[in-house]
Structure 1
Amino acid sequence: MPTIIMTKWPVKLDGSVRSKAMAFLQKLSHDDTTPGLHVEPIGGSADDRVRTGRVDQFWRAVMFRLDGNNERHYVIHGVWPHDDAITVARSVSLTVNPINGLPQIEAASPSVASAGATAPAPSALSSESAPAAISPAGSEPAAPSTPAQPAPPSEASPAPAPSEPLLVRLGRTRTELTDRLGLSADIADHALSAPNQDAITELAARHEGWIGMALIGLAVGESIESIVESLELDQPHPSSGSQEADLLEALRRPAARAQFSFIEDQEELRQVIDHGDFGAWRVFLHPMQRRYVEKSYSGPFRLSGGAGTGKTVVLVHRARALARRNPQARIVLTTFTTNLAGALRDGLAQLDARVPQVTGLGDEGIYVAGVDALASAVIRAAGADVGDAVRAVLGEDRSQPNGRTTSAGWREVLDGASTSLPPEIAHESFLAAEYALVVLPNRVTSEAGYRRVRRPGRGLALDRAKRDAVWSLIAAYRAQNRVEGTLDFAEAAAVAAAWLETAGSLADHVLVDEGQDLSPAHWQLLRAVVGDGPDDLFIAEDSHQRIYGPRTVLSRYGIKVVGRSQRLTLNYRTTAQNLRYAMSILEGADYVDLEEQPESTGYRSARSGPAPTIVPADSLSAELDEVAKQVGNWVSAGTEPSSIAVLAGDRFHCERLARGLAERGVAAAHVEREQPPKDRVAVMTMHRAKGTEFAKVVLADTGATSAERDRLESLDGSARADTELRRRSLTYVAATRARDELAVIQREGRRA
């Protein structure tokens, strides 16, 4: 049976042709001598390995046949109408780059599609994109895209291009690009003549694989040495004397596998066929991403990176890799919210339906759950023995440890209490943070214990009198919960951790997404779920996206990642223009990571597009008019409603937006826990939008109202600063949901 090697095809096909092409591949992988396939060489071709195959009477596949390692391999280049396929087949060749030893598909004419040239666009080809899926190297589900429409002038428009090209100003030379990176002279000349970063990004978008990635590195000013290291563009291996063997060796190189993927068996090919996704996110990874998927670590490892840099894809691929490495392994894949856990579950199933997803914590396979659901599973597993853990954490019993306290508990305590504490301390935000950051992780059960406990990073100092007054409120909160018999979410995590510390771990590997949003009790739980050892904890996080939990430091909870931290910087989802806008939201703010080190930005995008549109509105009615106008323009231009989202700050405003859009003739739906509709524009909160991705996004309800600013002023300095960081992060998260176009409606009377 031949081995199929998939590429990112240079043209996109509509649904009916795509299904026929996939059926052709399935037959080819089973027996390439089947007469109906008509696998034939093309006379006069530039590469004698090129073949075409009949998809149907009109469409033909173009591929390269390699005979090596005692078996046949077919590198699938793409599918074209018959005459175009013959033209492509005669002109393309598969070679090994003599500088870096990587494979490349080259065309004899610039009009012919290849991995190093823009694809032709004959009228018979469909412009429709593949169905929604997780983006090739990104982290969330991708919505179908449409051709970008010109954006009206906005304050985010780029400045005029400087007279001297960017790479010339950076001191790059043609020799460096050709003799060190291995770029062709033509591509090097285009890059050296590009006036700015956006122009080089646009050039990179026309070239797949290592060529595009090298160009992106050049665009953002990376050194030649850094690009060579990240893409592993070292000297090629010595020739074996066989061109086919050399090509197969080159195709397996890490940088090559970002463009070429070996389909291992019929089942994996069936997965590609079923999902109909030629740009399969599940097989094409950047060399850096693949390194973090496959490498083994001696202890906890932390992977940071901005929105869209592929942290989630790395986690899902790594979970599968661990399961394949040891089918008996107990693997936990977790994140902060239920919606994000569902996205992880779906992504894992799309990647490989054969990987067992189990429903029992501690079973062999991959257990996927939100971190609070994980805590509940541990408490259920503990049964009657959980009582000892409850007493260890709280110093008292709970009759219903599987029940959860409502979020209004602290407000109710303050409403019924008389205290001498100043307002910034007698505040539900301060008390909830003090409880989560100080009391629960230290398992403080008495006033005397609270007097002694250290409070690192809390900012606001408390003397003995204030500590006693705070403890009285904490005691009242616990008494209220004791009456109900329930635990709040942080208490449940702390109790689950305490039980596991006695009972023993239930997993061999734990992989964590959105680690920046987890609380200290969550980290204690995760540290207890898995014992110390190789590949025990793998953590993906981005402090710029912290929109829920308090700021935490891993080392305080037994998780040592010093020397085992790395960062992803290439954004695959958001255009450079939208990313630039999103990053501007974070400017001037100080963010630190889970190691309490300053968090840098420096993210770059692999895509280019129009600048964000900034539209003022002086009232709610005007805001609704502008949102409806923007969405209506996109839909009229051909964008599918399901690939558009309108994001706002809270549920109340989302409901008003959904109603207002409907009144203005826009089919929209307010999305909460359910999946976004397939025939309507999704209206959702910025919090709910985390983990999603849309072709086009409108940000509504931006800025803070006077009431919100007054609430901010009521907080103590530390809490106020933290709340402000999270508010910025929320807007940053919302802005980075857009793949292609972003519109921002700014209400007058609101401040950013």
Structure 2
Amino acid sequence: MPQIILGPQPKKSLDGSVKKAVFSFLEKLQADDTAPGLHIEPINGSHDPRVRTGRVSEFWRAVLVKVQGGGDAHYVYLGTFAHDDAIAFAKTASVRINPRNGIAELIQADLESRPEPSLPEATDTTPPQPPTVPAPEPLLPRRGVSLADLLELGIDPALAERAAGVAAGTETEAEDLLLDLAGQAEAAWQGNALVDLAVGTPLADVAAKLALPAEGPADPAASSDDSLLLEALQQPAARLDFHFFENNEELRAAIEDDDFGKWRVFLHPEQRDHATKARNGSFRLSGGAGTGKTVVLVHRARHLARRDPSARIILTTYNRTLAGQLVEQLRTLDPELPVHENLGAPGVFVGGIDQIARKVLQRGTARLLAGGDSPGSVATVLGARTAEVLGNTANARWDQAIAMVPGLPAELRSPTFFQAEYATVVLPNLVTQRDQYLRVRRPGRGTALSRPLRTAVWDVIEAYRASAAADATTDFEEKAMIAAVDLDAAAGAVVRSAPRPADHVLVDEGQDLTPARLLLLRALAEEGPDDLFLAEDSQQRIYGQKIVLSRYGINIRGRSRRLTLNYRTTAQNLRYAVGVLANEQFVDLDDESATVAGYRSARSGPPVIAEGLGSLAGEYKEAAELVRSWIESPERPTKPENIGLLVRDRSSGNRLVTGLAEHGVDARFVGSEMPAAPGKPVVMTMHRSKGMEFSKVVLFDISESSDPSWISSLPEAERADARLRDRSLIYVAATRARDELAILWKGSPSQVLPATTP
């Protein structure tokens, strides 16, 4: 039975009716490639004798490359074109094996026929300069990468010669020119290689990241061997351009969705390795915004489910909104994957971590009450109180508890301080008595507490717990901790009341999880191979405190890797976002320094717009003009729903919607109870934008006067970390923009913004 391989698509878009006809054609081809109605025919005078065309309709023709291997025919689908265009393309298209490294590539005949350039003594591609100004040295040779190195790597000779000569007045300008050139590469792996080299990645590391074979075929003439070409098509670097379909639903999605190949099939070799490699224990994958951590998690969930259909897999993150997006991505990636809401059943359970805690507490086997020698999970965490814990404690309870302790110093009368103290010190250490709190260690807490201050703090905690117990409620931190204790108690019992509910736990946005939630994650699966897989980015921590995994039973020493290639954001947008984090120190979940070194984008775009206005009214007018210009652009109009306007809080968002309406722009504020609407620009808080992406983004009113005032209410020792989280929030918001980013403020800009636009 013939197999379809999706190859590079020179023609990017077809209308809906043509896409349906293309899928029907490929489905028939997969069933029987000898069917006469398909008209699979070679092309006279074609450069590659394997090239065929097939009849999609009277007007449309598919271009294919037939590769015979393993007894079955394989057809590389290169796109559908109008009849004459299909013939012209088919005559020049060729899928060949790169003679340097053995990677399959789609090339054009006129490119292949160009002679390999001789090594020049010197390359100067810069425009003439005044005699007093020396011409800039080309970027790659200055970094020790010669034309010969590029050719040895397997870069196309013409592309290599241009890349070796890229130079500009500044290093940043030269990097941008090289990024532009990378976008012109015929083979995706070559573009990726140039992106890495543009930011200074050593040549050997570039080859390792792409898993490039050390050499090509021993006999260059052997590239005509179909079995060798089939092997070359399956090389990790080739899989950036070529995908082998496993079922018709996957094929249909690829044909009918123009964005399909961007994340669902064409994985970078690094991503593919992380998605499929077996691990001896817990593993941490870090990476900046847009590097594909979530993509890896989704693919890994499918890989684990296929490897063992009986495996119980949990895919989770810190809230329901992001969990819902994970469900959508899983079902889009593989509609046949068993995705369900039954915790502990074979297949993939997807849910927010708080949803998981609730399900654990609702199990019939939960040991919440005292029994036998056990005090019960609730008393272990909270002390003696009712075991009714499913109600939710209101946040206002902290304010009320603080008000009940008049002797508390003013600098500690902050709900934010108490929430952090409770989540990072009291709950994970199972503190239920005053004397325990007076002795417990408080690593990572900025505010030092004397014994009298600890006594006063405990008075507030006791008041908070007593109030919640009277209402039979718990907060989310308490629920997570009780659930973790309950799972551990059941697993450690002589007669186990219930097994742990998972074999594998995959976690997105791990940097925003609190100790109780991490302990719950650890309790969901037994320690062992492929037990926990956490994806995180410490620079995106916008909730909670600094966390070290090893303190909560999650050992990742030696099993941690970082992704650095951003697939979402242009280099200009990324450079601005990273500038927000400049000169700040971040610590990752392994208690080591987290850095943005080597973080780079695969795309180039327009400069960032950073503009100060004299008033809020001026900001509204400018935002409306920007939105209108993007929607009405004659060259590249943007769909309104692909434009995001991000604000600090809901009230600012509602006012922005009104302000835009006064200037003729109909936008919609999107919140938990208010979904996005087709045909309208999206206004949402920066916190809610986590995990989202838009073509164009406006960060609205990032003014000094709009910086969060609550930070000043914290104890002095806690303010630096709060300011760091605020910087991370702006960084997260800025990296939601794929193509264009604008930042607006009134008066003076916020201190978190870069002093100049990078």
Query: What is the TM-score of this pair, normalised by structure 1?
Result: 0.91
- CA distances 1:525-577 after superposition (whole Å, capped 9, x unpaired): 00001110100000000001111122110000000000000000000000000
Residue 35 of structure 2 corresponds to: 34
Residue 171 of structure 2 corresponds to: none
Residue 700 of structure 1 corresponds to: 700
Question: Structure 1 residues 497, 229: closer, same or farther in 2, change over 3 A?
Answer: same
Aligned pair 1:174/2:143, yes or no?
Answer: no
**Contact 1:524–1:557 (CA<8 Å) still a contact in 2?**
yes
Residue 303 of structure 1 aligns to a residue whose secondary structure is: strand
Higher RCO, 1 vs 2 (CA within 8 Å, ≥6 residues apart) = 1
Residue 602 of structure 2 corresponds to: 606
Q: How many residues align?
A: 702
Q: CA deviation at 1:54?
A: 1.7
Q: CA deviation at 1:662?
A: 1.7
Residue 100 of structure 2 corresponds to: 99
Deviates more, 1:259-268 or 1:509-518: 259-268
Q: Which amino acid aligns with 2:142?
A: R
**Contact 2:62–2:78 (CA<8 Å) still a contact in 1?**
yes
Aligned pair 1:191/2:163, yes or no?
Answer: yes
CA distance in 1, matches of 2:107, 2:706: 60
**Contact 1:331–1:366 (CA<8 Å) still a contact in 2?**
yes
Residue 738 of structure 2 aligns to a residue whose secondary structure is: strand
Q: Which amino acid aligns with 2:176?
A: D
Identify the match of residue 514 of structure 2 among 508, 512, 519: 519
Q: How does 1:192-271 map to 2 (within 5 A)?
A: 192-195=164-167, 196-207=174-185, 208-236=187-215, 243-271=225-253
Q: CA deviation at 1:164?
A: 2.6
CA distance in 2, matches of 1:58, 1:85: 10
CA distance in 2, matches of 1:751, 1:698: 15
Residue 644 of structure 1 corresponds to: 643
Residue 526 of structure 1 aligns to a residue whose secondary structure is: helix
Aligned pair 1:659/2:676, yes or no?
Answer: no
Q: Which amino acid aligns with 1:549?
A: G
Q: Which amino acid aligns with 1:21?
A: V
Q: CA deviation at 1:393?
A: 0.3
Residue 67 of structure 1 aligns to a residue whose secondary structure is: strand
**Contact 1:671–1:683 (CA<8 Å) still a contact in 2?**
yes
CA-based RMSD of the aligned residues comes to: 1.9
- CA distances 1:552-609 after superposition (whole Å, capped 9, x unpaired): 1000000000000000000000000000000000001111100111101021000000
Residue 583 of structure 1 corresponds to: 578
Q: Which amino acid aligns with 2:389?
A: P
Q: CA deviation at 1:618?
A: 2.0
Q: How does 1:44-443 map to 2 (within 5 A)?
A: 44-109=45-110, 163-179=136-152, 181-195=153-167, 196-207=174-185, 208-236=187-215, 243-273=225-255, 275=257, 277-382=259-364, 385-387=367-369, 388-419=376-407, 421-443=408-430
**Contact 2:13–2:258 (CA<8 Å) still a contact in 1?**
no
Query: What is the TM-score of this pair, normalised by structure 2?
Result: 0.90
Q: Which amino acid aligns with 1:165?
A: P
Q: Which amino acid aligns with 1:523?
A: L
CA distance in 2, matches of 1:515, 1:652: 29
- CA distances 1:162-194 after superposition (whole Å, capped 9, x unpaired): 733211322321110001x11121010111122
**Contact 1:429–1:719 (CA<8 Å) still a contact in 2?**
no
CA distance in 2, matches of 1:304, 1:707: 29
Q: CA deviation at 1:234?
A: 2.5
- CA distances 1:91-132 after superposition (whole Å, capped 9, x unpaired): 1211111111101111122599xxxxxxxxxxxxxxxxxxxx
CA distance in 1, matches of 2:53, 2:154: 29
CA distance in 1, matches of 2:305, 2:479: 29
- Extract unaligned runs of 5+ from structure 1: 113-159
Residue 497 of structure 2 corresponds to: none
Identify the match of residue 532 of structure 1 among 527, 544, 563: 527
Question: Structure 1 residues 384, 517: closer, same or farther in 2, change over 3 A?
Answer: closer
Deviates more, 1:21-30 or 1:613-622: 21-30
CA distance in 2, matches of 1:8, 1:547: 39
Residue 496 of structure 1 corresponds to: 483
**Contact 1:382–1:499 (CA<8 Å) still a contact in 2?**
no
Deviates more, 1:17-26 or 1:363-372: 17-26
- CA distances 1:310-346 after superposition (whole Å, capped 9, x unpaired): 0000000000000000000000000011110000000
Residue 571 of structure 1 corresponds to: 566
CA distance in 1, matches of 2:97, 2:112: 22
- CA distances 1:686-734 after superposition (whole Å, capped 9, x unpaired): 011111111101110214437834x323322332011101100110000
- Extract unaligned runs of 5+ from structure 2: 114-132, 168-173, 370-375, 492-499, 752-758
Aligned pair 1:553/2:548, yes or no?
Answer: yes
Residue 126 of structure 1 corresponds to: none
**Contact 2:641–2:679 (CA<8 Å) still a contact in 1?**
yes
**Contact 2:288–2:563 (CA<8 Å) still a contact in 1?**
yes
Residue 73 of structure 1 aligns to a residue whose secondary structure is: strand
CA distance in 1, matches of 2:743, 2:258: 34
CA distance in 1, matches of 2:523, 2:139: 51
Q: CA deviation at 1:18?
A: 2.6
Q: CA deviation at 1:267?
A: 3.5
Question: Structure 1 residues 45, 384: closer, same or farther in 2, change over 3 A?
Answer: closer
